[in-house]
Amino acid sequence: MAAIYNPRYETIAREELQQLQLERLQATINRCYKNVPFYRRRLEALGMEPEDFQSLDDLRQLPFTTKQDLRDSYPYDLVALPLREVVRFHLSSGTTGSPTVIAYTANDLAHWTELVARNLVAGEITREDVVQIFFGYGLFSGGFGLHQGAEAIGASVLPVSEAELPQQVKIMQDFRSTALIGMPSYALAIAEAMEAAGVDANSLSLRVGLFGAEPWSEERRQAIEERLHIRAYDIYGLSEMGGPGVSGECPERCGLHLAEDHYLVEVVDPATGEPLPEGEEGELVFTTLTKEALPLLRYRSGDLSALDSAPCACGRTVARMRRVCCRTDDMVIIHGINVFPADVATVLASFPEVSEHFQLVVEQVGVLDELEVRVELAPQFFSDTIRGLEGLEQEIADKIRANLGVGVAVKLVEPKTIERSIGKAKRVLDLRDKE
Amino acid sequence: MAATRIVQQVSIFLENKSGRLAEVCTTLGAHDINIRALCIADTSDFGILRLIVNDPAKAASVLQQAGFSVGQTSVIALQIPDRPGGLGGVLEKLEAVGINVEYMYAFFVRREGDAVVLFRVADDVLESTIRLLQEANVPILSAEDVYAL
């Protein structure tokens, strides 16, 4: 049987797990009530006190915590402890206009490290491995998270971060890297650079890869495995839950094992917010069970998945979540950056030359994902030269890059050509490979 | 009077897809608007159709209602002798004082045996260009004459 990093908790009996979850939930609610005015007000509005939570189901009486709640409390309002207890911050990837913050105490960091270590071991990484990490190191939690976990299991870590592709290939050759960790799209870009440089995958020592931070399909997994000669595993996390480490695949690859001793996971109907029976697809809602610095109750992730708590052939008893390929909102993840159409709309509103009708088109060009912003010209336009219109496209693209941190191509289109739908506008057209 | 020397050109933004040019012409035809001159500038993604019509304000309005993005631009219509070097002589006069012609195109019909050519210069030098050409005795057509051609 494949290795398990923490058998005590990863193979815990379901009944014992639920008892542990209840105790940890009560402690978390207690801390939220005492130390986080936002949550105290919510409980008071319901006429509830921490003692009223006697079963896991009682949690459902609480309203959801949303991304907007986190933005509104930027940077410190949800931090449950004095800053002297906080040892680290990370910020959500994405817009620079309204980021969300995550804080860690020393205990939070230790837990985080352990959870990532579990994912690494489940993904066949051992202390013998030379691990090349190309997640970004910085405010984004991916690089540091995976780094800590890999060191904890004793692997030899190369924190290559977002180095240029030729350097990634050179390091892979020189250090005989055996494991790759980063975004799946970037893994394919490395494969492309390798092939362009005439480097044969057989001449490398690569064995395995853990990829995440953006949705990817089975088709993409196959391409990565064939071109890099590795076995590729999916890992999942979200910055609001502390980053990577929330779940990861084992060699069975029948879903991602959730760290249920640290997170209480619900699946709800995205439209009604009502809980769904196990196995049905819905929105993942997370409650932290051990977080000290930034506990969150019923956080709506926006990610769609389904749970399966049947034991896995690998021996783990914690539930598995189906890999995420869709979201409830229109958020697009491109090069690991979260792009919200609403933020694009804000930029476009500052250009009188264009209308408010636009669409984000995500396309795979070669191995890289590219984002095109199609926007309708206003009924009256000002420049009637090619140079003027191309200049306008460039100006809009520059402003989106400056405000959202993501490079896009802007394409002007005729009025009334972008599809309108009743109710929610279809803001995103994702043409990337799908399962 | 200089103002009447300024001709209103109608510009239409077109994506490069089939049928759109026909739609513009059909729409104008349905409203009894006659196209007097046209030119198209395009890239691989989009094009700009520039039109001189008998009623530019009405043309802009009906095209906008039909869902097109439409602009109006001031241009100058010059009567130029239809012989070798005729156009070159006019362009040299403009170049001599540093006036840049953004684009130009010719009418289908002649006027008094001469060619009629439309010039687009930047708006801020429009008036001075007209004065310069008048001083150089280059015949400038009035807007009324152009729409009626």
Residues B98-110: pLDDT tens digits? Answer: 998 999 998 877 8
Contact yes or no for B13 and A386 at CB 8 A: no
Q: Which residues of A205-224 are buried (b: 16+ CB within 10 A; e: fewer)?
A: ebbbbbbbbbbbeeebbebb
User: Under an 8 A CB cutoff, do A383 and B71 touch?
Assistant: yes
- Note whether A352 and A393 are same-domain residues: yes
Range of the domain at B38: 3-73
Reported as a single tens digit per residue, the pLDDT across B49-75 is 999 999 999 999 999 999 899 999 999
Beta bridge pairs of residue A353: none
For residues A184 and A296, membership in a common domain is answered with yes
With the C-alpha atoms ordered A143, A337, A318, A298, is the resulting torsion angle positive or negative? Answer: positive
Instruction: Show which of A297, A329, A361 is a domain's final residue.
Output: A329
Which of these, A335, A404, A400, lies nearest to A374 by C-alpha position?
A400
**Counting runs of H as helices and runs of E as strands, what totals does chain B give?**
5, 6
Q: Distance (Å, rounded) from C-alpha B15 to C-alpha B35?
A: 20
B113-147 pLDDT tens trace: 888 888 999 888 999 999 999 998 888 998 888 88
In a domain, A79, yes or no: yes
Same domain, B50 and B96: no
Tell which of A355, A381, A383, A384 to mutate to test the B interface (max B CBs under 10 Å).
A384
Cβ(A318)–Cβ(A254) below 8 Å:
no
pLDDT in tens, A359-398: 999 888 776 788 999 999 998 877 888 889 999 999 999 9
Contact between A66 and A207 (Cβ < 8 Å): no
| Number of compact structural domains in chain A | 2
Integer angstrom CA distances of residue A210 from A1, A274, A387, B147: 20, 33, 45, 69
For A133, other C-beta atoms within 10 Å of its C-beta total 26
Residue of B nearest to A380 (CA): B70
- A263/A118 same-domain check: yes
Put simply, the answer to whether A383 touches B70 (Cβ < 8 Å) is no
What does the CA dihedral A258, A260, A264, A270 come to, rounded to 10 degrees? Answer: 20
Residue A96 clears pLDDT 70, i.e. is over it: no
Helices (H), chain B: 20-30, 56-65, 86-96, 126-135, 143-148
Contact yes or no for A385 and B64 at CB 8 A: no
Asked if A357 and B42 touch (Cβ cutoff 8 Å), the reply is no
Contacts of A416 in chain B (CB under 8 A): 67
User: B85 and B41: one domain?
Assistant: no
Token pair 């739908």 is at which residue?
A: A421
Q: Cβ A380–B71 below 8 Å, yes or no? A: yes
Least confident of A51-60, A175-184, A409-418: A409-418
Residue A148 lies in a domain: yes
Of B15, B73, B103, the CB nearest to A414: B15
Q: What percent of chain A has pLDDT over 90?
A: 74
Whole-angstrom distance, CA of residue A76 vs CA of residue A73: 6
Is B99 found in the same domain as B41?
no
Indicate whether B69 and B80 sit together in one domain.
no
> Which pLDDT does position A421 carry in this prediction?
57
Q: Is the pLDDT of residue B2 over 50?
A: no
> What pLDDT is recorded for position B82?
84
Structural domain contains residue A2: no
- Looking at residue A435, what is its pLDDT? 37
**Domain interval for residue A386:** 337-430
Same domain, B17 and B68: yes
**Residues contacting B134, CB < 8 A, separation 6+:** B140
Q: Do B56 and B81 lie in a common domain?
A: no
Question: Where among A329, A351, A366 does a domain terminate?
Answer: A329
Distance from CA of A397 to the nearest CA of B (A): 16
Domain finish residue from B73, B92, B124: B73
Same domain, A164 and A223: yes
Residue A281 shares a structural domain with residue A261: yes
Looking at the domain assignment, is residue A221 inside a domain?
yes
Average pLDDT, chain A: 91
Residues of chain B contacting A418 with CB distance shorter than 8 Å: none
Contacts of B69 in chain A (CB under 8 A): 376-381, 414-415
Q: Are residues B62 and B103 in the same domain?
A: no
**Binary contact (A384, B11; C-beta < 8 A):** yes
CB contact under 8 A, B68 and A390: no
Place of tokens 């390929």: A325
| pLDDT value of residue B17 | 80
Distance CA B142, CA B122 (A): 19
Same domain, B92 and B68: no
B13 → closest Cβ in A377, A390, A411: A377
Q: Looking at the partner chain, which of A378, A385, A386 has a beta carbon nearest the beta carbon of B69? A: A378
* pLDDT of A256 above 80: yes
Chain B residues lying within 8 Å of A381, measured CB to CB: 11, 13, 69-71
CATH number, domain of A389, equals 3.30.300.30
- CB neighbour burial string for B48-80, b if at least 16 within 10 angstroms, e if fewer: bbbbbbbbbeebbebbbebebbbbbbbbbbbbb
| pLDDT reported for residue B145 | 86
Per-residue confidence (pLDDT) for residue A93, from 0 to 100: 57
Element holding A20 (H helix, E strand):
helix A14-35
| DSSP code, position A137 | P
Position A266 scores a pLDDT of 97
Residue B47 structure tokens:
């094009």
Answer yes or no: is A87 within a domain: yes
Q: Quick one: B79 and B61 in the same domain?
A: no
Best mutation target among B9, B10, B13 (most A Cβ atoms within 10 Å) is: B13
B11, B39, B73 — which closes off a domain?
A: B73
* Whether A316 and A390 share a structural domain: no
Contact B115, B82 (CB under 8 A): yes
Kindly state whether residues A349 and A265 are assigned to the same domain. Answer: no
Q: Which helix (H) or strand (E) holds A88?
A: strand A86-91
**Which residues in chain A have their CB less than 8 angstroms from residue B67's CB?**
414-416
- Span A281-332, pLDDT tens digits: 999 999 999 999 999 999 999 999 999 999 999 999 999 999 987 787 778 8
A78 vs A41: CA distance, rounded Å: 12
Please tell me the distance in Å from A380's CA to the nearest CA on chain B. 5
Print burial letters for A235-271: b (CB count within 10 Å at least 16), e (below 16): bbbbbbbbbbbbbbbbbebebbbbbbbbbbbbbbebe
Which chain A residues have a beta carbon less than 8 Å from that of B11? 381, 384
ipTM score assigned to the predicted complex:
0.81
Q: Which residues of A touch B73 (CB under 8 A)?
A: 384
Across-strand partners of A418?
Answer: none
Query: Could you tell me if A204 and A176 are in contact, meaning their C-beta atoms sit under 8 angstroms apart?
Result: yes
Q: Do A380 and B70 touch (CB under 8 A)?
A: yes
Contact between A359 and A419 under an 8 Å Cβ cutoff? The reply is: yes
Point out the domain boundary residue: B73, B101, B135. Answer: B73
Cβ contact (<8 Å) for A384 and B48? yes
Please indicate whether, in this complex, the C-beta atoms of B14 and A416 are within 8 angstroms of each other.
Answer: no
Determine how many CB atoms are found less than 10 A away from the CB of residue B16.
Answer: 12
Pairing of strands B46-53, B35-42: antiparallel
Compare all CA atoms of chain B with the CA of A410 and give the residue at the minimum distance.
Answer: B45
pLDDT of residue A423: 43
Instruction: Give the pLDDT band (50/70/90) at residue A43.
Output: very high
**Which pLDDT belongs to residue A369?**
82
Nearest 5°: CA angle at A382, between A377 and A386? 80
Clarify whether residues B60 and B88 are in a common domain. no
Whether residues A379 and B64 touch (CB distance < 8 A) is answered with yes
> What is the mean pLDDT of the segment spanning A220-237?
95
The two structure tokens encoding residue A107: 């205990």
* Cβ contact A381–B73 (<8 Å): no
Which pLDDT tens digit goes with each residue over A65-75?
998 899 899 89
A422 pLDDT exceeds 80?
no
Structure tokens at A106: 């020393």
Chain A residues inside the 8 Å CB shell of B68: 379, 414-415
* Phi, psi (degrees; rounded to nearest 5) at A83: -60, -25
Is residue A171 situated within a structural domain? yes
pLDDT tens per residue, range B9-46 = 999 999 888 788 889 999 999 999 999 899 988 888 89
Instruction: Give the per-residue pLDDT at A281.
Output: 93
Rounded to the nearest angstrom, the minimum Cα separation between B68 and chain A is: 6
Q: Are residues A40 and A107 in the same domain?
A: yes
Q: Are A318 and A359 found together in one domain?
A: no
Return the CATH number at B89. Answer: 3.30.2130.10
Separation CA A211–CA A186 (nearest Å): 9
Is A1 inside a domain boundary? no
**Is B67 close to A378, i.e. CB distance below 8 A?**
no
Number of structural domains, chain B? Answer: 2
Size of interface A-B (CB pairs under 8 A): 53
Contacts of residue A378 in chain B, CB cutoff 8 Å? 69
Rounded Cα–Cα distance for residues A107 and A110 (Å): 5
**DSSP conformational letter for B140:** B
Q: Is the pLDDT of residue B111 over 70?
A: yes
Instruction: Answer yes or no: is A29 within a domain.
Output: yes
- Cα B69 to Cα A208, B8, B12, B50: the distances in Å are 53, 16, 6, 12
Cα A55 to Cα A309: distance, rounded to the nearest angstrom: 19
E-strand ranges in A141-269 read 156-158, 179-182, 208-211, 231-238, 243-249, 256-258, 263-268
From A181-185, A292-296, A421-425, the region with the lowest mean pLDDT: A421-425
